Structure 1
Amino acid sequence: MTERSDPRMHRDTSDTEPMVGNVKVTRDDWLNMAMAALIRDGVEGVKIQAMGAALGVSRSSFYWYFKSRQDLLDALLDHWRKTNTAALVRMAERPAQTITEAVGNVFRCVINPALFDTRLDFAMRDWARRSRDVRAVLAASDAQRLAALKAMFEKFGYPPLEATARARILYYMQIGYDDAKLNEPMETRNKLMPAYLVGFTGKTPSAREVADLRDYANALERADRSVDGST
């Protein structure tokens, strides 16, 4: 899939916080700018002065919404938990008729940047290498995701130990898959999809399940191309 333009660099016009006095940007503007800096430069790149300059406002605008830089960093962690982790858990718990359909729901999550921002996930893991506190938050989030995936397998009759193993295979394979940055076309990923489902579940997906997943992936690909202006 081609990479979308970064949504963090655009104003969130749905922000419900009122604009007071000469405040020119919203809390979401600061948070989005901080996420962009974190992804691009790591946590060291999240600098109030630099972000203020990019937003065209003074430091006083920042302190309208955040008590300190640490307050902003805490908000980034909270946002990540409420987006990436919550989305993966929600999709693992989504109703499904078969385990292959359930794993397909997880695929839908991890290939859709509107649900799961892979770049933000990697930025958090890099940050965790530098901070014991962030490492603890990451460990708790990983445990929550794995528990949801294990419960997903158990719901379809897999014994607990096998459910744990399959959850780990699915989760850690996906992390490694994205980290490898294969940059393979969606056509290649679609061809492998039925075999992946067999590998993760030990079950053969139905033709309808495979077709629905491919349609979903191809729709995302077309949306990416439309945003990028490519053909």
Structure 2
Amino acid sequence: MQATSKRKSEPLVEADWIHAARRILIEEGIKGLSLRRLAAALGVTTGAFYWLFGNFDDLLDKLRQDWEEQNNLHFSLVFESPDLDSRQKYIEYLRILLDKRRYDPEYDGAIRDWAPFSPETAATLQRVDDLRIRQLESMYQGFGNKGLAARVHAELAYFHQIGYYLVGASESLEQRLEKLPFYAQLVCPDIIPLDSTIEDLRALLVRNEDLQT
């Protein structure tokens, strides 16, 4: 990770350190994240850190907050929208999962890998998992599922998606789209027709070319 030309002419701000910490966490794991490593990545001395943070734990707290806010923002915008019905929410949910600019599964994975070593991170992860399942549960309630049925449907949909990323599935966008109607039929029947073509699915779910593949 190299410092940019901006770093030579403008003072670092808190967000610069958090962004660098996020990249190191994703690429190297929590064991690779240290103050010295961060300073080297940003091209500054460790002393510059203390103008912005009280200590290293302060940065770790803000890193957890960054993940909780950034990787949940677009899900919350969809599931909390009063203008979308459950079918529209599911379609928007799929769109977010396919767009790494709005949801970064590698960031999620890095947090999950960190959680066993940090009670604070584990608590943050549990809070986020609970939120995401509740959001899906409300969607299933909109489909007419009641009580425990809505909860189980939500857990099935959520744990399926987590498992997809945890096993490190590597597929092109076309391969994901080809399988998607069959996955959707299992977790949210009758929303994505099984005979949908790749072109149909692109038109429905892919809004630009800058997507995760």
Q: 2:57 & 2:2 partners in 1: Cα distance? A: 21
2:202 matched to 1:214? yes
2:145 matched to 1:151? no
Q: Kindly provide the amino acid, as one letter, of the partner of residue 180 in structure 1.
A: V
For 1:43-82, list aligned pairs within 5 A: 43-82=30-69
Q: Indicate how the Cα distance of structure 1 residues 218 and 65 shifts in structure 2: closer, same or farther if over 3 A, else same.
A: same
Q: Displacement, 1:25?
A: 1.9
Q: How many residues align?
A: 207
Which of 90, 95, 106 is the equivalent residue of 2:93?
Answer: 106
Q: Kindly provide the amino acid, as one letter, of the partner of residue 155 in structure 1.
A: G
Q: 1:50 & 1:77 partners in 2: Cα distance? A: 18
Normalised to the residue count of structure 1, the TM-score between the two structures is: 0.78
Q: 1:27 & 1:116 partners in 2: Cα distance? A: 22
2:189 matched to 1:202? yes
Which of 164, 171, 177 is the equivalent residue of 2:158?
Answer: 171
SS in 2 for 1:129: helix
Q: Kindly provide the amino acid, as one letter, of the partner of residue 215 in structure 1.
A: A
Contact 2:26/2:107 (<8 A) preserved:
yes
Give RMSD over aligned pairs. Answer: 2.8
Which of 172, 184, 196 is the equivalent residue of 2:171?
Answer: 184
Normalised to the residue count of structure 2, the TM-score between the two structures is: 0.84
Q: Displacement, 1:148?
A: 0.8
Q: 1:92 & 1:174 partners in 2: Cα distance? A: 17
Q: 2:191 & 2:70 partners in 1: Cα distance? A: 31
Q: Which residue of 1 aligns with 2:20?
A: 33
Q: Displacement, 1:156?
A: 2.4
SS in 1 for 2:71: helix
Q: Which residue of 2 aligns with 1:16?
A: none
After alignment, is 176-185 or 140-149 more displaced?
A: 176-185
Q: Kindly provide the amino acid, as one letter, of the partner of residue 172 in structure 1.
A: F
Where structure 2 has 5 or more consecutive residues not aligned to the other structure, the ranges are: none
- C-alpha distance after superposition, 1:167-215 (max 9, x if no partner): 111111011111222211211221222222221123243689x967523
Contact 1:194/1:205 (<8 A) preserved:
yes
Q: 1:105 & 1:160 partners in 2: Cα distance? A: 24
Q: Which residue of 2 aligns with 1:121?
A: 108
Q: Which residue of 2 aligns with 1:140?
A: 127
Q: Indicate how the Cα distance of structure 1 residues 201 and 216 shifts in structure 2: closer, same or farther if over 3 A, else same.
A: closer
Q: Kindly provide the amino acid, as one letter, of the partner of residue 170 in structure 1.
A: A
Where structure 1 has 5 or more consecutive residues not aligned to the other structure, the ranges are: 1-7, 14-18, 226-231
Q: Displacement, 1:122?
A: 0.6
Q: Kindly provide the amino acid, as one letter, of the partner of residue 26 in structure 1.
A: V
Q: Kindly provide the amino acid, as one letter, of the partner of residue 47 in structure 2.
A: S
User: How many percent identity over aligned positions?
Assistant: 28
- C-alpha distance after superposition, 1:25-78 (max 9, x if no partner): 222211111011111121122211221122111122111111110000000000
SS in 2 for 1:112: coil
